[in-house]
Chains A and B, each alone.
Chain A
Amino acid sequence: EVQLVQSGAEVKKSGESLKISCQGSGYSFNNQWVAWVRQMPGKGLEWMGTVYPANSESRYSLPFQGQVTISADTSISTAYLEWSSLKASDTAVYYCARETRYFFDLWGQGTLVTVSS
């Protein structure tokens, strides 16, 4: 089955670090971009950035540049989204999604990150 499976919900405190994951299966994970998309409570979708697993090239949206790190490990077909110091405003659901041409055709189930101050 073609799918992206994300790690489970996280509850953290401000200032803590966090790395969430997204494992792909059923397709050639290495050769398709994997994006991360944020959805804050009751809000719309925001593209944060993307990674090309085969060469680890990453691109970021300006608001997220320097705030998060997106990476991938081809040996386990997994992409990551990482924070070094969380803020309460990082509370959101984070989705990974496969980028195919000009759209996102496969989504993970989402990871809820709750950050308390």
Chain B
Amino acid sequence: AIQLTQSPSSLSASVGDRVTITCRASQGFGSALAWYQQKPGKPPKLLIYDVSTLEKWVPSRFSGRGSGTDFSLTISSLQPEDFATYSCQQFNSYPPTFGGGTKVEI
């Protein structure tokens, strides 16, 4: 199974900061990489799929990029509602796997 390693595991930032979370895969794959946002006590919400395509509800301050084994999620200007845990996920092959998550604290 492809393993995904996220870094950092947590970060503290201020409103307005630019934040980047990385997701490194144990082997390279195509574009089947997604990001999820999860708030405490809630299910994950799909944020980005196909590496860089934003879901309809996602503000443009979020962006995703990467290829091969290295992917990233960037929030260009952090807002209070962005406090959450972010997880990457690959589905290049079965089984789909998730990264360990990055907790963003404001």
Are A and B subunits of one complex?
Answer: yes
Range of interface residues on A (Cβ < 8 Å): 10 to 19
Report A79-117 CB contacts with B as 1/0, cut-off 8 Å: 000000000000000010100011111011110000000
**Interface stretch among B11-19, B20-28, B68-76, B92-100?**
B92-100
Say whether A46 faces chain B, with CB atoms less than 8 Å apart: yes
How many A-B residue pairs have C-beta atoms within 8 angstroms? Tell me: 57
Which residue of chain A has the shortest Cβ distance to B89 in the bound complex? Answer: A103
State the CA gap A80–B75 with chains docked (Å).
Answer: 37
State the CA gap A41–B97 with chains docked (Å).
Answer: 18
Which residue of chain B has the shortest Cβ distance to A106 in the bound complex? Answer: B46
Q: Which residues of A contact B59 (CB under 8 A)?
A: none
Range of interface residues on B (Cβ < 8 Å): 20 to 34
Of B43, B49, B96, which is within 8 A of A47 by CB?
B96
Say whether A61 faces chain B, with CB atoms less than 8 Å apart: yes
Say whether B66 faces chain A, with CB atoms less than 8 Å apart: no
Which residue of chain A has the shortest Cβ distance to B99 in the bound complex? Answer: A44
**CB atoms of A109 and B98 under 8 A apart:** no
What are 19 inter-chain pairs, A to B, with CB distance below 8 A?
A: A35-B96, A44-B99, A44-B100, A45-B98, A46-B98, A61-B1, A62-B95, A95-B44, A101-B32, A101-B49, A101-B91, A102-B34, A102-B92, A103-B91, A104-B34, A104-B44, A107-B43, A107-B45, A108-B43
Q: Which 6 A-B pairs have the closest CB atoms?
A: A102-B32, A102-B91, A107-B43, A103-B34, A45-B98, A61-B95
**What is the interface of chain B, defined by CB distance below 8 A to chain A?**
1, 32, 34, 36, 43-46, 49-50, 55, 87, 89, 91-92, 94-101
